[in-house]
Amino acid sequence: MDVLGDILSTLQLRSTLYFRAELSAPFSISVPEDRQVIRFHVANRGPCLVTLPTGEAVRFEPGDLVLVPHGASHVLSDVSRQAPRPLGEVLQESGFDGSGPLVYGGGGPQTVIVCGYFAFAHDAVHPVIASLPALIHLPAMAERSYAWLEQLVSYMEGESRDQSDAWGEIVRRVAEILFIHVLRAYMGTHPNSTAALLALGDPHIGKTLALIHADPARDWSIGALAAEAAMSKTVYAERFRQTLGTTPGKYLVDWRMHKARALLDRGDLTVKQVAWEVGYESETAFNRVFRERFGITPGRFRTRGAVVAGDDPDSGAITESVGSSGKG
């Protein structure tokens, strides 16, 4: 089971190209906050600085990729670090209408970057995504450059515009592959990656995550998962919490609800069938947990095709049986 692929597919990852920006020094552009997206920038020509409100900054060169995982506001600038102009003003001043490149700057040395974002359906949250750092910089090396990303994202954007019968699935799958590549490249170049990312490859926790994702409907107990991990229940539960920031029970219940939401989005199953698919013999129990997690009943979600995000109650806080109300 490819756990990372399953996470991105279930959370309905998608990718969109903002624009190709042809910037000339001096320039300084303030990109507004949007916590619902994971922004990325790829340098095609010339250096560029990305600076977060905290002061954290990176300089990226041609072939480099920069990711802003949690949609924080940030400044794109040349090395002069002038006072930034809001992106909205820059777009208006440049006359950018969404087609062709954004051309802006003072007429000096040119920097060309490609800007876009990843997003998930319905504000979906998962420990692996939530644990990413505020800024990720993947520099180009002799054996790896991200210059190809411009062509790939342009292809994705072209498919979206053409609206061919298969365009949605094509763009979704390409976005998923691209994001998996980016995360794995980050893990490969940062041995001290976040614990949640490292958990995917952990021989103990990673094994049990694969089991949960392969069969979320199973009535997993902490004892059964600990046995699969070759650990005592106490050690396993603590290791799981340290790596993923949650309990095994809470993780399973949350994952079941993510799977349920994706199945409801498909629209070809009844609520009762979805409940069974994710491990609930009782439709009433399923409705209760789904509503606690997302603030809306499964029936209304299926009808509306949208979710109102609510609080994240500890509906998985259990002792022995990890999947309460689950089927065997």
> Domain range spanning residue 26?
3-189
Same domain, yes or no: 22 and 119: yes
CA angle 33, 34, 37 (to 5 degrees): 135
174 and 206 part of one domain: no
| pLDDT band at residue 307 under the 50/70/90 scheme | very low
The most confident of the ranges 4-8, 39-43, 79-83, 286-290 is 286-290
User: CA 52, 56, 59, 65: dihedral to nearest 10 degrees?
Assistant: -70
For residue 131, the one-letter residue type is S
Q: Does residue 233 share a domain with residue 108?
A: no
Looking at the fold, whether 40 and 124 belong to one and the same domain comes out as yes
Give just the sign of the alpha carbon dihedral 156, 92, 69, 147.
Answer: positive
Q: Given this model, what pLDDT does residue 230 score?
A: 96
Q: Are residues 206 and 185 in the same domain?
A: no
Residue 92 burial by CB count (10 A; 0-12/13-18/19+): exposed, middle or buried?
A: exposed
Q: Residues 136, 209: one domain?
A: no
- Using a 10 angstrom Cβ sphere, with 0-12 exposed, 13-18 middle and 19 or more buried, the burial of residue 125 is middle
Report whether pLDDT(103) > 90: yes
pLDDT at 276: 96
Q: Which of 164, 145, 77, 153 is nearest to 118 (CA)?
A: 153
Residue 183 lies in a domain: yes
Q: Is 310 a domain residue?
A: no
Q: Where are the alpha helices (DSSP H) in the chain?
A: 3-10, 87-94, 127-130, 148-162, 167-189, 195-199, 205-214, 222-228, 233-244, 248-266, 271-277, 283-294, 298-304
Task: Note whether 37 and 179 are same-domain residues.
Answer: yes
Residue 291 and residue 313 in contact, taking contact as beta carbons nearer than 8 Å? no
Contact 316, 250 (CB under 8 A): yes
Residue 212 has a pLDDT of 97
Q: What angle do CA 69, 259, 301 make, to 5 degrees?
A: 95
Asked if the model's pLDDT at residue 315 lies above 50, the reply is no
Least-confidence region, from 23-27, 143-147, 265-269: 143-147
Total domains in the chain come to: 2
User: Does residue 149 share a domain with residue 219?
Assistant: no
- Specify if 324 maps to a domain: no
Q: In this structure, what token pair is assigned to residue 17?
A: 């190209």
Residue keyed to tokens 């560029």: 48
Question: pTM for this structure?
Answer: 0.77
pLDDT of residue 196: 87
Number of Cβ atoms within 10 Å of the Cβ of 312: 13
Q: In this structure, is residue 16 part of a structural domain?
A: yes
Which residue, of 167, 189, 211, is where some domain finishes? 189
